[in-house]
Structure 1
Amino acid sequence: MCVETHDIFNDPLSMWIEWESGEEPKMHWQVQIIYAVQSAFYIHSIYATLFMDLWRKDSWLMFVHHFVALALLFLSYVNNFTLPGVLVLFLHDNSDATLEITKLSFYLKKRTNGQYYKHYFLVGNAAFILFAIIWVIFRLYWYTCKLLYATIYGAVYLGPQDAPFFPVLGAMLIIIFGMNVYWFNFIARMIWRVALTGEDPEDNREWDTTAVSGLNQQKLDELATVKCHLKPKNV
């Protein structure tokens, strides 16, 4: 991730160059656009988790994640710690993209008329494998050896010590890493089940859950099936 002369991905400690010399770094316009778009996304995600999405085992954790992410964006912007903030976004967004490709592919592979599209099945499996690999590399490995190294360890020596939200931001980054580890548990279980049974990857967070409407997933599937077989009345 490069911003003008800063290569904060390959050299994470470079995010503190200006702070180390006693100067506050300038706010890059590219970063301001990224912050605006991401803030809008997380505001919508908080609303969607509470009122639109199917309620799952980890829905409250998802809500906390979106709230912490939005707070990180706001507090890092106030303190002008936007370079670490951009690195956080870079390490997370790529896995989100591959996850959505996986979901769309499996939604499209079989239609209500019974037609089956194998190429969507193949794309979905490939995207899921890529998603799992990216999660491990970006959210677990690089998150610790690049982001946490630069912000928890490096910032103690190079960053501003009088920033009002400095300790809070560090705690939030550790909380997000804990969430990444927790969610990887679902990914690992899904990979193990698919490897043993040959079943399609399915969201195992939806087991024993209830939708916002009060109906469980099985009942919702039954209602959807009935609705698909209903024919419109002749006028």
Structure 2
Amino acid sequence: MKLYYHIGFGSYLYQTLTVASHPKQSDFWAVVVHHVSTVSVMAASYLLGFTRIGIVILLLHDCSDPVMEIAKCFLYLGWEKVADVMFTLFAVVFLVTRNVLFPYVIYTAHENSILEDGERMPRGYGHWVLFCLGCLWILAALNMFWGYLIIKIAAMKLITNDVVGDIREEDSEE
């Protein structure tokens, strides 16, 4: 688990440091905030000893990524029907893990971080727990935004029966 945590932290730290070198898309600032929030919550939770919840959060965020990359590969190969199936699978996995399970995990972490006397655990570090919870709710809001974009892509595909591509490129500032 510790190795997975370190790999996840390293990956998000790298993405945070290199995000400016990628082509700018309309959700550029959302991506920046996502990476900064992720690195912040991972570092704080690691230092506070909340690595179990950190692993759950990493797993929930990592589940849909390989499916999305596979869908893109099939799209680039011109295998539109397979790409559509993989995109549908990606959409379902993304929406369930990031827009249903993730907020539930945050709520559960919030409820279970309060001790019987009302203080947040670990004692004396309650403000850091609130910081972590704040970062997690920021991530949840961004996941909802991206979930909306995924639903928008799916709806456009159903209406026009055309491969839409990445709708974040519509408003890119190049």
Q: Does residue 208 of the first structure (1) align with residue 167 of the second (2)?
A: no
Contact 2:98 2:140 in 1 (8 A): yes
* Displacement of 1:48: 3.0
2:2 to 32, 47, 52: 32
Instruction: Compute the RMSD of aligned alpha carbons.
Output: 1.5
Amino acid at match of 1:93: D
Q: Which has the larger radius of gyration?
A: 1
Using the size of structure 2 for normalisation, the TM-score is 0.90
Unmatched segments (≥5 aa) in structure 1: 1-30, 110-119, 212-235
Matching residue of 2:83: 124
Amino acid at match of 1:50: A
Contact 2:71 2:84 in 1 (8 A): yes
Distance across 2 between alignment mates of 1:47 and 1:103:
24
* Structure 1 residue ranges, 4+ long, deviating more than 4 angstroms after superposition: none
Question: What is the SS of the residue equivalent to 1:165?
Answer: helix
Unmatched segments (≥5 aa) in structure 2: none
Q: How many residue pairs end up in the alignment?
A: 169
Contact 1:54 1:210 in 2 (8 A): no
CA offsets per residue over residues 168-221 of structure 1, 9 Å max, x none? 00111111100001111111111110000000141111003133xxxxxxxxxx
Matching residue of 2:143: 180
Question: What is the SS of the residue equivalent to 1:49?
Answer: helix
* Displacement of 1:121: 2.0
- Which protein has greater RCO, CA pairs closer than 8 Å, 6+ apart? 2
Contact 2:48 2:122 in 1 (8 A): no
Contact 2:41 2:135 in 1 (8 A): yes
Distance across 1 between alignment mates of 2:91 and 2:149:
11
Distance across 1 between alignment mates of 2:103 and 2:172:
32
Contact 2:99 2:147 in 1 (8 A): no
Matching residue of 1:42: 12
* Displacement of 1:142: 1.1
Matching residue of 2:156: 193
Matching residue of 2:134: 171
